[in-house]
Amino acid sequence: MEQLSMNKLLQLKDGTCRTALVTGAAGGIGSATAKALSNHGAKVMVTDVNEAALSALVDEIRAEGGEAMAAALDVGDPESWQQARQQVFDSWGPLSILVNNAGIDVVKSVADTSLADWDRLFRVNSTGMFLGTQCFLDDLHAAGQAGGVRSSIINMSSICGNVGVAFQSAYSATKGAVRMFTKAAAVEFGTLGLQLRINSIHPGTVDTAFAAQCLTELGEAGFAPSPAEARAAIRAAHPIGDMAQGDEIADAIVFLASDLSRFMTGSEMMVDGGYTAQ
């Protein structure tokens, strides 16, 4: 079997660059993912509701020699998805890599979680993933047919989609939905003969601003006497003894986007420092 280049995993054999869209690209994991995809040869559209952060990210990618563009995207709005899809298609043709990364959290007990909290989390974390997959399905299949390499969808789940965590009931429910949607869709897409793969990624705690806010809220919720002690407890809960960095999750996403994972679909990749091995 032909050896794949480790430098440009996302270029086709003829040198053509694959095209990628990353949601939630203003955050720690999203921005690291966009840069990693670009470093491996992909053209990248970065999307988020934080347009100022997107502009800075595009400038950073271009300064490193990559090709990138940005779009404001509300992942819970079908029309917003259609606008992003048209922008990608008009510029680069059909998309070949979709990273459904956008996510939010609410750290509350079951008793204190409101219906509005529940609905807001599902709108971003689960419905957004569904709408993105549905919006780009035909394009991803077309890109897979044209390039001779299956397109790839990577859905951001979490260890909370696999194990229970106190004060995370709503968030866990959304990530469990991501996990099972991915598996069912993989079987369906294979049955239909679509030229794409779909997998989920399940990080442990990642050292980002998102996690810092969650740890603060966990401390306030009584998980630990202070945010600092909550952070120490979370680090100790991972057998590897630390939290992940955003680029470590991004590297796993590049693997799932590339042909190195060509026999993987419907899989859940745990990047959790051993958390779920316990």
Examine the residue annotation and report whether 275 is marked as an active-site residue of this protein.
no
The one catalytic residue in 81, 92, 171, 275 is 171
Q: By the 8 A CB rule, do 47 and 100 touch?
A: no
Label residue 225 exposed, middle or buried (CB < 10 Å: 0-12, 13-18, 19+).
Answer: exposed
For 22, phi and psi rounded to 5 degrees? Answer: -120, 125
Taking the C-alpha atoms of residue 266 and residue 31, their distance in angstroms, rounded to an integer, is: 25
Q: State the Cα–Cα distance between residues 215 and 190, nearest whole angstrom.
A: 40
Rounded-to-integer distance, Cα 221 and Cα 215, Å: 10
Provide the sign of the torsion angle of the four alpha carbons 23, 130, 171, 206, taken in this order.
negative
Residues with a catalytic annotation lie at 171
